Amino acid sequence: MTGVIVLFSTLALNLLCLAFAFDPSPLQDFCVLDAKSPGCKKPETVTAADFFFSGMHLPSNTTNPYKAGLKVAAIPGLNGQGLTLARLDFLPDGIIPPHYHPRAAEILTVLEGSMEVGFVTSFPNYKHYPKVLNKGDVFVVPVGLAHYQRGVGKVNTVVLSAVNSQNAGIVEVAGSMFGAKPAINSDYLATAFRLDKKTVEQLQSKPWA
């Protein structure tokens, strides 16, 4: 499960620096986060560099069991703008496990390669909306719905992902259940997921976070 840790811990750490929005006045043009102290930078100290990020053309790290990686554009000037931008990289058989963002919708644009994306609607229908995307294709995942991405084809895939929140949150479906601390009762999970107790306990023993 180290792939889950690498993927989602990386995203969580990058989002953390964007999560503490501070906007003392709705009349100001922007509130650039101050890395040295809580709150906004003084306007006279803000430069163009505060609205800039370089490196999205470089691949993220895919050396993990899931053969996928992500890179978040950590831009101080995004504070208060309700946006997060990330690059996703997939080897031909790379995946990002099922997860959801409780506070944001996501829009995906394929820059290179091919990817299958799909989301599942809420109870009681659980309708699955899968789609294979190729270069130039765009797909929207509605807010709060479980979804997944996986590379398909024979070449690496590069995807630009944007969410309409600077703190979208990310909940990995399996990890939230089997990696909960303190652990959820294994008899309950065995019944809920229609698994035997031994399988549940093996899943609970894995490093989910």
Binding-site residues, in ranges, read: 99, 101, 106, 147
Mark the binding-site residues for Mn(2+), compressed into ranges. Answer: 99, 101, 106, 147
| Packing angle, helices 197-204 and 186-193, rounded to 10 | 110
Closest to 30 (Cα-Cα) out of 17, 47, 43 = 43
Q: Give the residue carrying structure tokens 């929140």.
A: 165
Mark the binding-site residues for oxalate, compressed into ranges. Answer: 101, 106
